Chains A and B, each alone.
Chain A
Amino acid sequence: MKMDSLPSPLQSGEMTRIETTPNAVGSGAGSKPAPVATVRNICKRFPGVVANDDISLDFNAGEIHVLLGENGAGKSTLIGILAGMQQPDSGDILIDGVRVRLGSPRESLDHGIGTVFQHVLLVPSLTVIENLMLGGSWWQKLARSAALARFRELSDLLGVKLDPDALVGKLSLGEQQQVEIMRALWRGEKILILDEPTSMLTPQGVRDLGDVMRRLRAKGVALILITHKLAEAYELGDRISVLRLGRVVGAILPDERQQMTEQQVTDRVIAMMFGATMPTDAADAELLLGRAEGRRARRLVDRSGAPRLRATQLSTAAERGACPLHDVSFDLWPGEVLGIAGIDGNGQKHLAETLAGQRKAASGTIMLDGHDITAAGVPARRRAGIRYVTDERLGEGTVGTFSVATNLLLKEIGNEPFWRRGMTDWTRIHDHAREKIEHHDIRTPSEKTPIGKLSGGNIQKVLLARELANDAGVVIFNKPTYGLDLQNTRLAHERIVESARHGLGTIVISTDLDELLEVSDRIGVMYQGRLVGIVENGPEVELEIGKLMTGQTLAAGTGS
C-alpha cells in the first residue's frame, strides 16, 4: 500500500481528508449510512478460554458505539484485534466494506483505526510533540513543523489546549489522555477506540472527555467506547452492545435508545449482562450503575468520644518515584470509614505505609487510642491492632509461591502457637488455614495451593482473612477492589462496611470515587502529598471532591 511509505498523514492524504470530513457528517446524519468498520464472526481462543465467540458488530461514522461487559467478557480481546495487537483465529474485518488484515499496530493505524488503551502508552521522558511524531521510519527527517501543523489541527478538532513542548511525564492524567487521543487520530480520524477511558480521571476530566467525544462524533468519527459503567454508557452511547463470556448477548440500537429513559436502558442492559443469573438484589443493579450514592443507610458515627487514631502533621521524606506527605492531619473514630480520594500518585502510598509502620515519618505523630505509636515498628503496631491491606496483592501482600496456609500466617511467622522453639507445626497451620478458607469462602483447590495460582478476588479474600483476624482496631485498605470483578468488589465492600459496624476504625484509599462514595462516612482528598480537605459523604459531594482532587482550594466547610 502506498500509505506505508508516508511518515505521517501530513503529505498527500491531507487534502482528501479535509474534503471528505463534511461528507461523512452528511452521511452520518442520513438515514442508512454504510458502516465504516464491520467485524464478522470473529473468534479468538486462548488456552482454556474462548475470549471471542462469533462476534459480529458494525461501527458507523458519527456514532458512539458502547461495548459493555464485565471483566472477561471479551471486550479487551476484541479491541486488541482491531488495534492489530492480536490476530483472530477466524472471522473477517471490513473497513469501508473492504476485507482487511490487521497484522500489526501499524496496519491498523494505516487504516485509520486509532486506539486509546487503558494504560497510558506515552513515553514520559519525551515531549508531547515528540510522542506524537513517534512512529516515523529511521530514514526520514524529523518533520517537526509539519507535525506542529497537524498538532494544531487536532487541537482545534478536539477543542483542547496543550503545550506541544511540555514533557508528557509532567502532564496530568487527563491531559495525557488528550495526547493519547491525538496520537490515535494522528494518521487519520476514521475510527477511535477508547478502552475504559474514564477509570483514572477526575469528575471534571470525565466531563471534558465527554465533550471531546461529542465533538468528534459531530465531525463524523466512528467512536468505540469500552466501559463497564452503565451511567457512562447511557450518557454517551448512541448504540450499546453488551458482551458476556465472549459473545454479543444483546444490543440497543440508536432508534430504540432515543426513545428509552435511563431506567429502561439500565434494566435492559442488566438483563442482557446477567441473563439467567440476573441478580435479584436491587443493590447489584445500582452498583452496576456506578451511582450508588446514599444507597446504604449511613451509620451514625459517634464522634463525641476520643478518636481511635489521630495523625498530626505527618510528613515523609521525598523519594524518587513517589510523592511524599506534607503535614497530613486527621482523626479517625471507632466505627468510622474514612475514604481517601485523589488521583494516583498524590501521596496515598506513603500515607498507607506510614500508618502501617513500613515507612518512617520525617515529622509528626501518630496516636492510637491516646498512645504515641510514631516510633513503633510493624510488629508492634500489628500487636496494637493496626492492619494494612496493601494494593500490591501479589508482591507486598503475599508470596506467590507460598501456599495459601503460609500466606495466611505471613505476618506471624515464628510466633506461637504455629511455631514452637523454631519448629514449624504444619498440622496447626493447615487446620488454621482450613478454618479461614471455610469462613471467608476462599475458592482454592486446597490450603496447600500456591497463592499465585488463585484469582485476584480470592487472593484479596486471603489478605482480608489475615488482616481482619484477631483484635484489629484500625484497618487501612489501599485500593481494595482494584482489578476485581463485580461480585468480588461487592463482597469486599460488604466486609469493609461490616467490620466498621463492629467498631473498627477503617481507612479506605482508592482512586475510584464511586467506591468511596459507597463505603465512606467521610472522604478526605489527597493532592500532592497534602490532605487538602475532608468532606462529609452525602449527595452531590462529587463536584467538591473533584475540585479538591485537582488542587482547587476548598471554599468552606472543611470537615474537622
Chain B
Amino acid sequence: MSELLTQPFLISLLFGAVTAGVPLLLAGLGEQISEKAGVLNIGIEGMMLFGAYTGFVAAYYSGSFWMGFLAGGLGGMVVASVVVLLCIRQGLNQIVIGIALTIGAEGLTALLHFFQFSKTYPRLDKAPVLEIPGLASIPVVGPALFSHNIIVYLAVGLVVFLAWLFRASYVGLNLEAAGAKPAALDAAGISVVATRSAAVLSTGFLAGLGGAYLANVGAGLFVPFMTHGAGFIGIVLAMLARGNPVWVLLGAVLFGVSLAMTTALQVAGVNVPTDVVHMLPFAMVMLVLVIFARHSVLPPALGLPYVRGDR
C-alpha cells in the first residue's frame, strides 16, 4: 500500500475531491435553504442540469467564465421558478413536480444540446485558477487545496455566511419558522409564500451555479445527463445535516473524496476492476444513509403547502 501514498497520488486525490465536492456542496447548501423553509426540492437535480447547460452555452459563446457562472445560476432559477409557481403558489405536490422537473430538464437539455452541437462535445479552455499567495506553495496541500477556481473559495465562504445567516439574522428565523410552523410566521406578519419563494429561488441559483461549475470547470464540456445524481446527493447531504451548513461541507468532502478515489486509484494504477472503483461513491451514499439516516431531523412542515387559516 505504501506506493499508493505518493505525492502525485495525494495531490490528485485531494484536488479531485475538491473539484467533485464543490457541486455537491453548492447543491447541498441550496437544498438546505429550501428544506429549512419547508420545501422538499426534489427538482434540484433538474436545476443543476439546466444550470450546467445554460452555463456551458453562455461560457462557450461569450468566452467568459463569469458569464457562464451567471447564466448557470439564472438557469437554475428558471427551473426553480416553476416550483414557486406550481408548488408554493398553487400548492401542488412537491415530489411529483420535482420528479417531473428533473425528467423534463434531462430531456430538454439533451435535445437542445443535440440540436446545437449534434454529436460533438466541444471543450472550453481550462478554467482560470486563483492561487492563494503563500498557501499555494506548501507542498501537496498547496497544489491540492489552494489553487482552484474562485467559485471553490466562494462556496466555502458561503458555508460560513449561511451559518451566520441561519443563526443571527431575521432571514434565519423566518426560514426556520416557515419550515417548522408556517402559521406562526404568518401570524407574525411575514408572508410564508414570499419566504418560501425566495428560499427556492436561492436554491435554484446555487444548484445552477453548481451545475455550471461541474460543466465548465470540472469537465470543461457539457454532456447530456452529466450531473449523474449530484443533485440527489445534495438532497441527502441537506437531510443529514440537521440544518447546519458545516455538516453539508463535511458531507460534501466525504462524497468528494470517494468520487475522486475513482480517478486517483486509476492514476495510481491499482489493480482493481474499474467497475468496482466506480461503485465507490454510491456505496458511500448507501453506507452513510444506513449509519446516519435515523438521526436526521426534518422540519415538521416539510413538503406541506401552506394555506392560511388551514391549521
Residue of B nearest to A132 (CB): B188
Question: Does chain B have a CB within 8 A of A124?
Answer: yes
Give the contacts of A83-129 with B (CB-CB under 8 A): 83, 85-86, 104-106, 109-110, 115, 117, 119, 121-126
Give the contacts of A434-483 with B (CB-CB under 8 A): none
The answer to whether B170 and A133 touch across the interface, beta carbons within 8 angstroms, is yes
Residue of A nearest to B165 (CB): A138
The answer to whether B168 and A135 touch across the interface, beta carbons within 8 angstroms, is no
Which residues in A have their C-beta under 8 angstroms from that of B169? 138, 141-142
Q: How far is the CB of B240 from chain A (nearest CB, A)?
A: 17
Q: How far is the CB of B41 from chain A (nearest CB, A)?
A: 20
Instruction: Pick the most buried of A134, A140, A183: most chain B CB atoms within 10 A of its CB.
Output: A134
**How many angstroms between the C-alpha atoms of A49 and B256 in the bound complex?**
60
With A80-B309, A137-B170, A138-B174 given, is the CB distance from A123 to B180 under 8 Å?
Answer: yes
Q: 1/0 contact trace for A125-160 toward B, CB 8 Å?
A: 110001101111110111000000000000000000
Q: How far is the CB of B176 from chain A (nearest CB, A)?
A: 6
Q: How far is the CB of A448 from chain B (nearest CB, A)?
A: 29
Q: 1/0 contact trace for B158-194 toward A, CB 8 Å?
A: 0000000000111101101100110111111111000
With A86-B309, A121-B183, A142-B168 given, is the CB distance from A106 to B177 under 8 Å?
Answer: no
**What is the total of A-B residue contacts with beta carbons within 8 Å?**
74
The answer to whether B309 and A122 touch across the interface, beta carbons within 8 angstroms, is no
**How many angstroms between the C-alpha atoms of A396 and B120 in the bound complex?**
59
**How many angstroms between the C-alpha atoms of A541 and B53 in the bound complex?**
73
Which residues in A have their C-beta under 8 angstroms from that of B184? 121-123, 131, 134
Name the prevailing secondary structure of the B interface residues.
helix
Q: How far is the CB of A296 from chain B (nearest CB, A)?
A: 35
Which residues in A have their C-beta under 8 angstroms from that of B183? 119, 121
Which residues in A have their C-beta under 8 angstroms from that of B188? 105, 109, 134-135, 183
Q: 1/0 contact trace for A412-454 toward B, CB 8 Å?
A: 0000000000000000000000000000000000000000000
Question: Does chain A have a CB within 8 A of B119?
Answer: no
Which residues in B have their C-beta under 8 angstroms from that of A110? 189
Which residues in B have their C-beta under 8 angstroms from that of A130? 173
The answer to whether A142 and B170 touch across the interface, beta carbons within 8 angstroms, is yes
Residue of A109, A122, A126 touching B189 (CB-CB under 8 A): A109
The answer to whether B173 and A136 touch across the interface, beta carbons within 8 angstroms, is yes
Residue of B nearest to A122 (CB): B184
Question: Does chain A have a CB within 8 A of B228?
Answer: no
Q: How far is the CB of B192 from chain A (nearest CB, A)?
A: 11
Q: How far is the CB of A369 from chain B (nearest CB, A)?
A: 42
Which residues in A have their C-beta under 8 angstroms from that of B180? 123-126
Which residues in A have their C-beta under 8 angstroms from that of B185? 123, 134-135
Which residues in B have their C-beta under 8 angstroms from that of A137? 170, 190
The answer to whether A125 and B176 touch across the interface, beta carbons within 8 angstroms, is yes
Residue of B nearest to A106 (CB): B189
The answer to whether B189 and A105 touch across the interface, beta carbons within 8 angstroms, is yes
The answer to whether A117 and B187 touch across the interface, beta carbons within 8 angstroms, is yes
Which residues in A have their C-beta under 8 angstroms from that of B186? 85, 105
Which residues in B have their C-beta under 8 angstroms from that of A86? 309
**How many angstroms between the C-alpha atoms of A131 and B185 in the bound complex?**
9
Which residues in B have their C-beta under 8 angstroms from that of A136? 170, 173-174
Residue of A85, A119, A133, A141 touching B173 (CB-CB under 8 A): A133
Give the contacts of B186-221 with A (CB-CB under 8 A): 186-191, 198
Q: How far is the CB of A212 from chain B (nearest CB, A)?
A: 20
Which residues in B have their C-beta under 8 angstroms from that of A135? 185, 188-190
Instruction: Pick the most buried of B169, B177, B185, B198: most chain A CB atoms within 10 A of its CB.
Output: B177
The answer to whether B309 and A121 touch across the interface, beta carbons within 8 angstroms, is no
Which residues in B have their C-beta under 8 angstroms from that of A80? 309
The answer to whether B170 and A138 touch across the interface, beta carbons within 8 angstroms, is yes
Which residues in A have their C-beta under 8 angstroms from that of B311? 119
Q: How far is the CB of B125 from chain A (nearest CB, A)?
A: 39
Residue of A7, A105, A140 touching B187 (CB-CB under 8 A): A105
Residue of B nearest to A117 (CB): B187
Which residues in A have their C-beta under 8 angstroms from that of B170? 7, 133, 136-138, 140, 142
Which residues in A have their C-beta under 8 angstroms from that of B190? 106, 134-135, 137
Which residues in A have their C-beta under 8 angstroms from that of B176? 123, 125-126
Residue of B nearest to A126 (CB): B176
**How many angstroms between the C-alpha atoms of A454 and B274 in the bound complex?**
63
**How many angstroms between the C-alpha atoms of A85 and B306 in the bound complex?**
13
Residue of A nearest to B243 (CB): A125
The answer to whether A124 and B189 touch across the interface, beta carbons within 8 angstroms, is no
**How many angstroms between the C-alpha atoms of A183 and B190 in the bound complex?**
14
Which residues in A have their C-beta under 8 angstroms from that of B173? 126, 130, 133-134, 136, 142
**How many angstroms between the C-alpha atoms of A131 and B174 in the bound complex?**
10
Instruction: Pick the most buried of B177, B181, B183, B187: most chain A CB atoms within 10 A of its CB.
Output: B187
The answer to whether A134 and B309 touch across the interface, beta carbons within 8 angstroms, is no
Residue of A nearest to B183 (CB): A121
Give the contacts of B112-135 with A (CB-CB under 8 A): none
**How many angstroms between the C-alpha atoms of A433 and B198 in the bound complex?**
53
Q: 1/0 contact trace for A170-208 toward B, CB 8 Å?
A: 000000000000010000000000000000000000000
The answer to whether A138 and B171 touch across the interface, beta carbons within 8 angstroms, is yes
With A134-B174, A138-B170, A142-B170 given, is the CB distance from A121 to B189 under 8 Å?
Answer: no
Which residues in B have their C-beta under 8 angstroms from that of A125? 176, 180
Additional pairs, 7, CB under 8 Å, beyond known A122-B181, A122-B184, A138-B170:
A109-B189, A126-B176, A131-B184, A134-B184, A137-B190, A138-B169, A138-B174
Top 10 A-B pairs ranked by shortest CB distance?
A106-B189, A135-B188, A136-B170, A134-B188, A121-B184, A123-B181, A123-B177, A123-B180, A138-B171, A121-B187
- Which A residues are closer than 8 A to B by beta carbons? 7, 80, 83, 85-86, 104-106, 109-110, 115, 117, 119, 121-126, 130-131, 133-138, 140-142, 183
11 A–B pairs (Cβ distance < 8 Å), ordered by A? A85-B309, A104-B189, A105-B188, A109-B188, A115-B187, A122-B184, A123-B177, A133-B170, A134-B188, A136-B170, A136-B173
